[in-house]
A and B are shown apart, each in its own frame.
Chain A
Amino acid sequence: MTILALDWFLLIEKLILIAIIIFASLGVALYTTFAERKVAAILQDRPGPNRAGPFGLLQPLADGLKLITKEEIIPTHANKWLFILGPGLAMTAALMTCAVVPWGGTIEVLGHQVDLQIADVNIGILYVFAVVSMGVYGVMIGGWASNNKFSLMAALRAASQAISYELAMGLSLIALLMVTGSLSLRTIVEQQVGHVWNIVYQPLGFLIFFICALAECNRTPFDLPEAENELNFGYHQEYSSMKLGFYLFSEYINMFISSTIMATMFFGGYDLPFVTSHLSIPGTAAIVGIVVLMAKVVMFIFLFMWIRWTIPRFRYDQLMDLGWKKMIPLALANMLVTGFFILWHQNNWHF
């Protein structure tokens, strides 16, 4: 079936996959906001949202409705176009990351093999990094366009935090890539299926990556960009209605995606130990894979929330000190040790 020299089946398959993954990300993010409030409530010994629907399950819909119907305010001297562009960019960057994540194995639809992944590019991890570094623009443009000096200061704070922790994040991943020898996320997962997970080889690398992921998602103890009770809210101070909702929502999507990346890189992705490599029917393997990956992701999201409602936030100089003087040297040392062990292993454990 080739009209206009296009493979229409591929095009439609990818479009459907993109639509499903975007809606799934939005849905997960929606219910992450609900889970956040429930976890906070449990940790603080109170019932939490329980009015809308059974167990308060309709609460996120009510929140969304409230945000949409609120009055939309654009400050008088704000730069109108950039003010609107900011939240859009933040949301786009958050959603773009999921393109390279393998969500499961392969399923068969109408006689075609369909990979449960939008794009298996051989630079998967670098793509994630590129998109993450784009996320800074949404924050910076929004903060600057509000024409409010507190917003601008918060935007600068957020941007410098993101840039600082990106470095340590990249360095911690280099050690992992030295072990796997591939940048493609699908290959990294397939190496772990039936073998030990990468966390065994790179425990320190995972710790550094996790801390940097907390900082990249602006989660406590690194939530200085939006310290509402100390630093006069954040870069979205002038925002209202759904534009504010976009900023808050993009953070939950970022949290979901970074949990997925951590599960994929260090915890075997869609691999269920001792089971996945023995599943003979391809369809079941894919479905079991999706469920297993989601379970891992939910665990990480819970960990993020647990940390948020347990630990107080850092001071800004402590944050920078941790990033530049502790995380980066630690990641470099991790890289050196990993390289040493790889060489030693290649030499059959002889010096």
Chain B
Amino acid sequence: MAITHIIFWFLTALALVSALMVLLSKNPVYSVLWLIAVFFAISGHYILLNAQFLAIVNMIVYAGAIMVLFLFVIMLMNLDKETEPQKDIWMKVAGVISGGCLLIQLVRLAKDAPEMVNKTALLKTGSIGLIENLGKVLFSDYVVPFEISSVLFLSAMVGAVVIGKK
């Protein structure tokens, strides 16, 4: 086994276990921390695919900014075991069944997608995820959607300031 395979299996196991722990932990703060571990594992996968920019942006934006906000909110909500509403057992069963159906659908779609048939992931090679290529693509082929999304961000910022001023 090459070192990339060892790292791949380690990261995969880490991602799956952490994702399960997000769902299984009783304490919402633990859930957030496990979710951060998931993001770390996914970033590791990106690095294995030589998409370093994606990996680091995933860490800065999701693990570094969005999860901090989640943690803020959860810490301030003062969630206790006593005050948390207990869900009905039938609701849980229904949730498991519908979630399972969604999972089966997603796996089937991913398996049959023409982009993924007979293809293997390029480990350590491939340069599409490097910052210079990504930058060129974003500012040439996809410049209009890119700029429009920045307008979207601006409007979100203005909205946040307006709400904050009230």
Contacts and interface: CB of A to CB of B under 8 A. Distances in A.
Interface of A: 4-6, 79, 82, 121-123, 126-127, 129-130, 133-134, 136-137, 140-141, 144, 152, 156, 159, 163, 183
Given A5-B3, A130-B59, A134-B59, 7 more contacts: A4-B3, A123-B56, A126-B53, A133-B63, A140-B71, A140-B72, A156-B75
Contacts of A134: 59, 63-64
B125 to A, nearest CB: 15
A133 B36 CA distance: 12
A123 B131 contact: yes
Interface residues of B, number: 22
Contacts of A137: 36, 68, 71
A127 B52 CA distance: 10
A142 to B, nearest CB: 12
Given A4-B1, A122-B131, A130 B75 contact: no
Contact of A144 (B29, B65, B68, B131): B29
B131 A183 contact: yes
Max chain A CB contacts within 10 Å: which of B3, B60, B72? B60
B64 A130 contact: yes
A126 B57 contact: yes
Contacts of B57: 126
Nearest to B161: A324
Contacts of A136: 64, 68
Interface string B36-58: 10000000000000001100110
Contacts of B65: 133, 163
Interface string B98-139: 000000000000000000000000000000001100000000
A89 B3 CA distance: 27
B64 to A, nearest CB: 3
B89 interface: no
Contacts of B76: 156
Nearest to B68: A136
Contact of B60 (A82, A121, A126, A144): A126
B75 A163 contact: no
A133 B64 contact: yes
Nearest to A129: B60
A82 B31 CA distance: 13
A100 B22 CA distance: 31
Contacts of A159: 68, 72
A87 to B, nearest CB: 15
B2 interface: yes
A121 B52 contact: yes
A290 B157 CA distance: 44
A150 B36 CA distance: 26
A144 B76 CA distance: 9
A6 B56 contact: no
Nearest to A89: B33
Contacts of A163: 65, 68
A141 B33 CA distance: 9
Given A123-B52, A133-B64, A144-B29, A156 B130 contact: no
A122 B52 contact: yes
A327 to B, nearest CB: 16
Interface in B126-154: 130-131
A78 to B, nearest CB: 13
12 contacts: A122-B131, A123-B131, A129-B56, A129-B64, A133-B59, A133-B63, A134-B63, A134-B64, A141-B33, A144-B71, A144-B75, A156-B76
Given A121-B52, A159-B68, A5 B63 contact: no
A319 B29 CA distance: 29
A152 B131 contact: no
Contacts of A82: 29, 33
A82 B25 CA distance: 14
Nearest to B5: A5
Interface in B54-106: 56-57, 59-60, 63-65, 68, 71-72, 75-76
Contacts of B1: 4-5
A339 B46 CA distance: 31
Leading 4 A-B pairs by shortest Cβ distance: A133-B64, A130-B59, A126-B56, A5-B2
B161 to A, nearest CB: 10
